[in-house]
Amino acid sequence: MQNLKLILLAAFFLLSEAFAVRISYWAYDKTGGLQKKGKYEQKNGGEIPDDKEDYLIQNIGTWSNHAYTAEKTERNIIVVKAVDKTQTKSGATHLNQVAESLVRQHIPKEKKTEEKSEGKKTEEKSEGKKD
């Protein structure tokens, strides 16, 4: 019986992953890397709903006044890149933070995470009332 529960739980997680697309933010630091010739600073941005993928790719330029582009890689990861290159690592990190903020402004995080946290709050409140 427990094996069946474990299999069902694993299947549930695999299915839930199928409906989300990973997102990553990249900005170029001209002085980064081992030889100081420049490199991309990368930030993992979590996931966005699968149905918002094309919406993001088509509109990121408009939202950012063409400061960012987005494309999907072969590994099904959406990469949001800053068009401008910066002189420092902190500048590239800042560009990645701005990009993430911009995406989250137009595509909020999935509701299932919010619903779970709200469910816990409701349970805590109801437990408090029982005492």
Digitized pLDDT (tens) for each residue of the chain, 131 residues in all:
677 777 877 766 666 555 789 999 999 999 888 888 899 999 999 899 989 999 999 999 999 999 999 999 988 899 999 999 999 999 999 999 999 999 999 998 765 544 444 555 555 555 555 44
* Cα 64 to Cα 61: distance, rounded to the nearest angstrom: 5
Q: What is the structure's pLDDT at 111?
A: 57
Sequence-separated (6 or more) residues with CB below 8 Å from residue 79: 23, 24, 25, 26, 70, 71, 72, 73
Starting from the edge strand earliest in sequence, which strands make up the sheet with 39-49, in order?
A: 39-49, 20-29, 77-82, 68-72
